[in-house]
A and B are shown apart, each in its own frame.
Chain A
Amino acid sequence: MIPELIIALSVGAALFGVGLYGALSQTNLVMIIMGVELILAAALVNLVAFWRYLYPDVPAAQMFVLIVMAVMAVEMAVGFGIAIARFRSRGSVEMEEARELKG
């Protein structure tokens, strides 16, 4: 087993844990989005690490990472768009107060 890969994966796992904790513990929408971003970042770290240490001759993995980054950007835009709209209409982005999606 390659020691660098283990380290990289450990970093990824730490990032994922922090992101998950942030997404679940925070009540502010902006902070939740941040957590989600961290989770995605952890996934990217893992992808890059697998590509770099196991299949360095396959360029398709790099393309996959790039596409995920683009998706992250789009998701960010949508998430913050919702946050701004919420703030404009209610003056707050506290998610404890937002239960309109309740079934």
Chain B
Amino acid sequence: MTMLVLTLLGPLLAALAMFTLRRMPEVLALTGAVFGFAGALGLFVAVSDGVVVSISLPFLPDFPIRLVASPLTATLSMVVATVAAMVLIYAAGYMRKDPERVRFFGTMLLFVTAMQALVLSGDWITLLAAWEMMGFASYLLIGFWYGRAGVASAAMRAFLYTRSADLGLYIGVFILIGMSGTSEIAVTLISTGTPTLVAGVLLLVAAMGKSAQVPLQDWLMRAMAGPTPVSALLHSATLVAAGAILLIRTAPMLPDGVLLVVGIVGGITAVITGLIALAERDLKRLLAASTGSQYGLMLVAIGAGAPIAALLHLIAHAAIKSSLFLGAGVFQHDRDGTGLETLAGAGRARPGIFAGFAIAALALAGIPPLAAFFSKDAIIAAALDSTAAPWLLPLALAGSVLTGAYMGRALNVLWDGDAGPVQVPVPLMTIGMGILVALATGLGLGFGALEHMLGAEIEKPGWIVPAMGLAVGLAGLILGWFVPPARLLGPLLTPAQNGFAVAGGMDGLILRPALAIAANCEAMEQRLLLAQVGTVRRIGLGTAQLAEHADAALFAFSLWVGQLSMRLGLASKFTDTNGIDAAIFGFVQRMIAAGAQARRLQSGFIHRELALTAIGIALIVAGLLAAPYYS
């Protein structure tokens, strides 16, 4: 339980401390990440011993907040914490010169907290709250450089797209809670029937929005406007993963029909975003499209009834995609851009980083013994065994070929060209990326143990599936390296470059309906306020007016007190000025005037002085002579 709290509060408290202190953001961020990682590690160890850690806090009546560390959630939490820690180390180097580091790291930690809450949530309400927090934090992060052209609108777009798909999650969750009478996820998973089917479809819509599945794939490419560490975090283990995680967790509940839709949507996404990635002219956007494609493959696995394969691929992809993004960020720093023409040959200038990038790229393409080889084989095997194999297998294989192709193309561009000047070393970025590359390399070896822990071991396939996976991966790599995308894609090039805008583009599909819904909601709310809730409104207004009266009385009283003391002050000022001051100054004035008068007597004429003397003496004499008469 301590570990559960530590996992969530470590990053959150660090973020709060950062916003309060406004200094040392890197140190605080890494401290928070380390605490979060320690908590997740503790949970993972506890869970691998067979203990289910859970915590229940009082919240709404009958709907407490539940946090659960089951084998599945603890594993996901571990993935999130690891990737977050590495990305934060990298970001300490990447954001070194940015003046807004406090805001950046604070928001990153907030985001990590939200993701951990989402992963560990044991009830739907906590999950919804975490889902919202994460959407908001991702909006802040994508729009981090809001001053630059197009960034604010990209953030708004990402927010709006995912939010509109979130409606599905809300309705789905309400159906599930209404049906089973509890918000606990584990309990709702055993429900069946038509409502479950509806809820499943709605959950799929939410997952499609978050995981950028066709036709909601567009926002993911635009979200590249954020800083590269943000992309690395969003695309590997957090925001985009949330959709897949939702489906993995609810997979036991989904009826066959929904599963088939999930698989087909995933398969189509894997192919279409793969094509988009191949046609992209920007490295980060290529990686973004590739993220959509990989999550498509995960959905194929879920649709084929093997959520564990999807989970394995999610973990492998988290390490791989974050390494790729971090490598792209280093090249972006070197060349001041992420356009493929700009980056031509950037890999030669940094052989170390390029090697890491290449290992991750090969891993993603499914080359043994790297991580994604195992997970991709598991997906292909699941697609092969599935009842919908005729649909899913070709899509999965095509997605894998395209994965190899766009990775091959990216490697070719980075290697083929002028190396340019020698670059200065970037220690922090190298550390963060290096550890992730190591994970991308070695994770595959731990998959067996993980399957055992989750209690769902995947049957080891024969030679045919690995051979198929390896063949498509290699074929894709070779095609991508040697054949330019224009010839490879043929007539598909232009639509792919336009991002396969289905049904009037994303704006037509999401933006306009969203605005229309917003306008309708506004009108409905107005009507509700005026008509149905009129009484409540009147009571509320009455209370408000009472409060206002009391407030006004208080205000008048304090105003009166203030005015009184003001008058007192003015009066004392008046007496001060006109009484004491006037008396003293008047006295001084008279003295000066008298002096001036006396001075006029002193004419300096001797005879006049003498005359005055004589007159004075005469007066004295007269006084003396008169003495007998008045004494």
Contact = CB atoms under 8 A, between A and B. Distances in A.
A23 B603 CA distance: 17
A96 B603 CA distance: 11
Contact of B614 (A24, A99, A102): A24
Nearest to B599: A103
A20 B603 contact: no
B584 interface: no
6 contacts: A23-B607, A24-B607, A24-B610, A95-B605, A99-B603, A102-B602
Nearest to B604: A102
A92 interface: no
Contacts of B607: 23-27, 32, 95
A2 interface: no
Given A23-B607, A103-B604, 7 more contacts: A24-B611, A26-B607, A95-B606, A96-B605, A98-B604, A100-B604, A102-B603
A101 interface: yes
Nearest to B601: A103
Contact of A32 (B601, B604, B610, B614): B610
Contacts of A98: 604, 606
Nearest to B611: A24
A92 to B, nearest CB: 14
Contacts of A23: 607, 610
A32 B602 contact: no
Nearest to B606: A95
Nearest to B600: A103
Contacts of B610: 23-24, 32
Interface string A1-28: 0000000000000000000100111110
Closest 9 CB pairs of A and B: A102-B604, A103-B602, A99-B604, A95-B606, A101-B604, A24-B611, A103-B599, A23-B610, A24-B607
B591 to A, nearest CB: 16
Residue picked from B604, B606, B614, most chain A C-beta under 10 Å: B606
A26 to B, nearest CB: 7
Interface string A67-103: 0000000000000000000000000000110111111
Contacts of A103: 598-599, 601-602, 604
Q: Chain B: interface residue count, which band?
A: 10 to 19
Contacts of B611: 24
A81 B605 CA distance: 19
B214 to A, nearest CB: 111
Given A20-B614, A24-B614, A32 B606 contact: yes
Contacts of A20: 614
Contact of B605 (A26, A29, A99): A99
Contacts of B598: 103
Nearest to A96: B605
B599 to A, nearest CB: 5
B56 to A, nearest CB: 103
A37 to B, nearest CB: 14
B611 to A, nearest CB: 5
A88 to B, nearest CB: 18
B617 to A, nearest CB: 10
Interface string B230-256: 000000000000000000000000000
A20 B614 CA distance: 8
A1 B605 CA distance: 43
Contacts of A24: 607, 610-611, 614
A96 B609 CA distance: 12
A23 B609 CA distance: 11
Nearest to A39: B614
Interface in B604-623: 604-607, 610-611, 614
A24 B602 CA distance: 16
B606 to A, nearest CB: 5
Interface string B435-475: 00000000000000000000000000000000000000000
A101 B601 CA distance: 12
Contacts of A96: 605
Interface string B279-305: 000000000000000000000000000
B560 to A, nearest CB: 61
A102 B598 CA distance: 11
B616 to A, nearest CB: 13
Contacts of B599: 103
Contacts of A27: 607
